[in-house]
Amino acid sequence: MASLEHAHPFEASLADIDPEISAAIDSELARQRSTLDLVASESVPPRAVLEAQGSILTAKYADGYPGQRTYDTCEWIDEIESLAIGRAKAVFGAGHANVQPYSGASANAAVLHALCEPGDVVLGFDFAHGGHPTQCDKETFAGRYYRAFAYHVRRGDRLVDMDEVEMLARAHRPKVLFAGWSCYTRHLDFARFREIADEVGAALVVDMAHFAGLVAAKVHPDPVPFADACTMTVHKTLGGARGGAILCRAELAERVDAAVYPGEQGCPLPHVIAAKAVTFKLAGTEAFRERMRRTLEGARAIAEALVEAEERTGASVVTGGTDVHQLLVDLAPSGREAWATLRRLNEIGISANAVSLAYDRLAEPACSGLRFGATALASRGFDREQFGEVGRIVADALANGGEDPDGSLAGRVAELTSEMSLYRYLD
């Protein structure tokens, strides 16, 4: 504290300048360290990504693209953005990449801006059935500025109803057909989506916000050859910088770039673009592929533990398992509500998501679904065996409605979190 008087305010540390924010960050670090993070959209950003994202690049204005800026002195930003673009194209085998979208939502807005006129028809995956609101929800730009229609999962097997996709596409002839999900655990049939898009003259946009890391690691079917454009986040399974990106066929490069800037955004975030470049570099390494394989193994191990415990827990694993980094659990057979259950899981040190499931018997905000993902714990180093124990802890908790009267579940969580350090370099 005393140093505030001596140091120039620009050189004083965060702890000196702003003890409240600094203490809150320290508390959040302690929370992350002591929590089993099963939030499927979260990961652990590598130190190199955090260094780039917290760097002096934050100062720079650089509207435009490499070689075509409306500001001078952008030579280093050009270098950084060109590296990010080249690495994204290489990792995904894409014709063109735009690394400026501020988020996955901004990437979807920009793609619609690039491929549609206001009022054009868009067909996306219903939010309540596993899609993302920015594909066709009435509350978002997708539903406000476009004529948006939604497809669903089948009641029986909870898989995307491709016959409905085809029927809606024929009936409404969308300009953009979205394929991609937030709450779904099986592979999509990209070839069938492509056929349907071709039949009705739609552009196929694969919203791979959740599974981009799996695609980069080649442990998931590759949508890039089928899609006109792919949108993604860089911080979910890719595990890096906080933001979005777009891949597209080379012929669409100009339209996509113009839609991002100046269409939807102002100046890009140079510090975040640098961190994206680092993320794409790491995504091309064997260490990353190993982590993604371990992520899939982890999700499967948790799913297996929960399937085994179904009679005890009264909670069923949706579709009986998973092909990806996350799984969905339906609490309906147990009669329990997801938010109440999640709060009890939080108390023993587990974080996850309460979600509405397709055909949920409860009305929002109450819901029956829990979503568990393995990305963050795999980034933290968890192996198959540890994921098995995570699954057994979750199963034991669900069998008890989340209650932990003797503290033994919290003890098992603490054992795992203390065994597996997090951000050790910050000590």
Ligand X SMILES: *Cc1c(COP(=O)(O)O)cnc(C)c1O
Identify residues 298-337 at the interface with ligand X (CB under 6 A). Answer: none
Rank residues 105 and 416 by Cβ distance to ligand X and give the closer one: 105
Question: Rounded to whole angstroms, how far apart are CA atoms 243 and 82?
Answer: 17
Rank residues 237 and 341 by Cβ distance to ligand X and give the closer one: 237
Number of other residues whose CB lies within 10 A of the CB of residue 134: 27
- Give residue number: closest CB to ligand X: 104
Rank residues 183 and 282 by Cβ distance to ligand X and give the closer one: 183
Place of tokens 């679904």: 369
Contact 122, 135 (CB under 8 A): yes
- Residues whose CB falls within 8 Å of the CB of residue 221, separated by 6 or more in sequence, listed in order: 187, 188, 190
Shortest Å distance, C-beta 364 to ligand X: 18
- In the chain, helix, strand, coil percent, each to 5? 50, 15, 35
229-233 and 244-248 beta bridge pairing: antiparallel
Rank residues 144 and 343 by Cβ distance to ligand X and give the closer one: 144
- Per-residue string for binding with ligand X, 165-184, x by CB under 6 A? ---------------xxx--
Question: Rounded to whole angstroms, how far apart are CA atoms 165 and 136?
Answer: 13
Residue 134 binding ligand X, by CB under 6 A: yes
Contact 356, 419 (CB under 8 A): no
Of 35, 36, 38, 41, the residue at the interface with ligand X (CB under 6 A) is 41
Q: Which span sits near ligand X by CB under 6 A: 207-215, 290-298, 304-312, 356-364?
A: 207-215
Rank residues 326 and 341 by Cβ distance to ligand X and give the closer one: 326
Q: Which span sits near ligand X by CB under 6 A: 194-202, 205-213, 310-318, 394-402?
A: 205-213
For 68, 156, 268, 312, 355, the CA distances from 63, given in Å and listed in that order, are: 9, 50, 6, 57, 38
Number of other residues whose CB lies within 10 A of the CB of residue 76: 13
Shortest Å distance, C-beta 208 to ligand X: 8
Question: Rounded to whole angstroms, how far apart are CA atoms 143 and 134?
Answer: 8
Number of residues that bind ligand X (CB under 6 A): 15
Q: Which of 249, 217, 231 is nearest to 102 (CA)?
A: 231
Shortest Å distance, C-beta 165 to ligand X: 16
Q: Which span sits near ligand X by CB under 6 A: 50-58, 99-107, 255-263, 337-345?
A: 99-107
Rank residues 244 and 298 by Cβ distance to ligand X and give the closer one: 244
Of 104, 213, 239, 373, the residue at the interface with ligand X (CB under 6 A) is 104
Shortest Å distance, C-beta 211 to ligand X: 9
Of 87, 210, 276, 380, the residue at the interface with ligand X (CB under 6 A) is 210
For 61, 92, 190, the CA distances from 225, given in Å and listed in that order, are: 35, 10, 9
Which residue ranges make up the site for ligand X (CB under 6 A)?
41, 103-105, 108, 132, 134, 180-182, 207, 209-210, 233, 244
